[in-house]
């Protein structure tokens, strides 16, 4: 799993070399053959041969680069043909369902999103929303190579079963096979992978966003719950069955409230959206989706309750992050979802707690930044996951006339 900056040394074999080249242009964008040679560590003739092969398959093309500022002939560059094929990315959140078709290079072809109310979170309503949205984005001329589904739940990686999604009210939902059925009804026969929304968000930020080139990072996404994705030594940390990274349920306050998971004083009960609204004296319901903005605006204007809410949630965030920093010693903490917007106001209480609760040197080198892909991170991460087989050599099946 490359970050784009530090390529793995090429593994043996032509297929592995082809992956290395395709992955470079997929993640880094247009590159000259000379740059590809340097970045991949392959020799020039191998790079030329692979670029020619990938070109013949319609996956990359060579052409003139954008004009350079330095004098001299602009070198030709290799770039992906993003329209050659696509994957379908699906995000199932509490407040919305979103679908996109995404090509090589992370190019979003088409995207559709529908908001929904809390009465329509059941599996059947979700399926019909996915079916409608998918039908609106799928282009029959572009082969769909796979589908990645990001869901706010705990997912068994092996078979794509959502074991538990407390905020959706789901338990043991066979989401991968249900989605395969939904797509088959639309005439699309492809593999489907299901993962946790924050794990996919972390993958996207790691490959294309704020955490590019960082091998050790913590991604935290705050909304109704707290989702987390961890990248350790360049690899996602998912645990034995895929349930790892449920950092929203780290117990931080033994005297805290009961959590949706059944536990008590979980991190998300102290630092999630509900906690921010509660401390600010606001109702928990957020029908217009602007409750967080209103609290932040009130805090900026000097409102006492709002300021106290920002400080309290920032402090709990810092306490939880201190624990993670002590364990993982990440270079970077990427805050997504609601936290991307609240970070400027919460940075100070977060830092104070991190300094107080980390062991000396561990927090010194840890930067805290806002996510750069915004709300699209889980969709883009799901697409990255579904594109993996293409990087590894999977190609569209040629259409055969019956």
Enclosing H/E stretch for 102? strand 96-102
Using alpha carbons, select from 123, 91, 114 the residue that is nearest to residue 382.
Answer: 91
Q: Which is nearer to Zn ion, 121 or 259 (CB)?
A: 259
Stretch that binds Zn ion, among 11-19, 265-273, 341-349, 381-389 (CB under 5 A): 265-273
Pick from 155, 203, 259, 321: which binds Zn ion (CB under 5 A)? 259
Q: Is 261 in the site for Zn ion (CB under 5 A)?
A: yes
- Whole-number Å distance between alpha carbons of 313 and 307: 10
Enclosing H/E stretch for 42? none
Tokens describing residue 135: 């039908």
Phi-psi region of 58 (alpha: psi -120 to 50; beta: other; left: phi over 0): left
Q: Is 274 in the site for Zn ion (CB under 5 A)?
A: no
Q: Where are the alpha helices (DSSP H) in 109-248?
A: 123-137, 175-185, 197-208
Q: Which is nearer to Zn ion, 266 or 386 (CB)?
A: 266
Using alpha carbons, select from 27, 44, 33, 128 the residue that is nearest to residue 82.
Answer: 27
Q: Which is nearer to Zn ion, 259 or 333 (CB)?
A: 259
For residue 169, the minimal CB distance to Zn ion (Å) is 15
Q: Is the dihedral of CA 348, 311, 340, 316 positive or negative?
A: positive
- Residues 277-296, interacting with Zn ion (CB under 5 A): none
Q: Which is nearer to Zn ion, 182 or 269 (CB)?
A: 269
Q: Answer yes or no: are the C-beta atoms of 131 and 149 closer than 8 Å.
A: no
Q: Is 26 in the site for Zn ion (CB under 5 A)?
A: no
163 Cβ neighbours under 8 A, 6+ residues apart: 153, 154, 155, 156, 171, 172, 243
For residue 264, the minimal CB distance to Zn ion (Å) is 8
Q: Which is nearer to Zn ion, 232 or 261 (CB)?
A: 261
Q: Judged by CB under 5 A, how many residues of this single chain contact Zn ion?
A: 5
Q: Which is nearer to Zn ion, 90 or 165 (CB)?
A: 165
Q: Is 271 in the site for Zn ion (CB under 5 A)?
A: no
For residue 258, the minimal CB distance to Zn ion (Å) is 9
Q: Where are the alpha helices (DSSP H) in 237-337?
A: 267-271, 273-279, 291-300, 304-328
- Residues 224-253, interacting with Zn ion (CB under 5 A): 249
Pick from 4, 191, 263, 265: which binds Zn ion (CB under 5 A)? 263
For residue 339, the minimal CB distance to Zn ion (Å) is 18
Q: Is 4 in the site for Zn ion (CB under 5 A)?
A: no
Distance between terminal CA atoms of the chain?
40
Applying CB under 5 A, the residues found at the interface with Zn ion are 249, 259, 261, 263, 266
């Amino acid at each position: 799993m490359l970050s784009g900056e530090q390529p793995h040394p090429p593994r043996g074999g032509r297929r592995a070399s082809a992956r290395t080249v395709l992955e470079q242009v997929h993640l880094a964008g247009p590159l000259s053959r000379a740059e590809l040679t340097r970045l991949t560590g392959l020799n020039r003739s191998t790079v030329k041969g692979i670029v020619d092969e990938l070109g013949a398959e319609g996956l990359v093309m060579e052409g003139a680069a954008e004009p350079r500022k330095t004098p001299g002939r602009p070198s030709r560059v290799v770039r992906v043909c993003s329209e050659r094929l696509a994957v379908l990315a699906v995000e199932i959140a509490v407040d919305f369902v979103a679908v996109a078709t995404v090509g090589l290079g992370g190019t979003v072809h088409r995207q559709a999103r529908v908001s929904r109310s809390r009465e329509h979170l059941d599996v059947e309503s979700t399926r019909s929303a996915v079916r409608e949205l998918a039908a609106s984005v799928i282009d029959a001329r572009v082969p769909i190579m796979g589908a990645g589904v990001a869901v706010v739940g705990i997912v068994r990686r092996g078979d794509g079963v959502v074991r538990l999604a407390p905020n959706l009210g789901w338990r043991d939902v066979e989401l991968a096979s249900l989605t395969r059925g939904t797509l088959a009804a639309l005439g699309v026969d492809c593999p489907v992978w299901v993962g946790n929304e924050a794990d996919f968000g972390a993958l996207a930020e790691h490959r294309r966003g704020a955490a590019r080139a960082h091998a050790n990072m913590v991604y935290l996404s705050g909304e109704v719950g707290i989702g987390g994705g961890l990248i350790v030594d360049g690899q996602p940390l998912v645990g034995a069955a895929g349930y790892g990274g449920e950092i929203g349920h780290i117990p931080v306050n033994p005297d805290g409230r009961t959590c949706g998971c059944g536990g008590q004083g979980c991190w998300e009960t102290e630092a999630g959206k509900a906690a921010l609204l509660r401390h600010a004296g606001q109702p928990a319901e957020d029908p217009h989706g602007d409750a967080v903005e209103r609290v932040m605006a009130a805090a900026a204007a000097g409102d006492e309750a709002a300021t106290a809410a920002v400080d309290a949630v920032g402090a709990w965030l810092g306490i939880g992050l201190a624990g993670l920093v002590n364990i993982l010693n990440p270079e970077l903490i990427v805050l997504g979802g609601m936290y991307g917007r609240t970070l400027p106001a919460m940075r100070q209480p977060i830092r104070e707690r991190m300094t107080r609760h980390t062991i000396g040197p561990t927090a010194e080198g840890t930067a805290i930044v806002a996510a750069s892909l915004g709300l699209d991170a889980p969709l883009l991460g799901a697409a990255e996951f579904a594109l993996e087989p293409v990087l590894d050599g999977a190609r569209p099946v040629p259409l055969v006339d019956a």
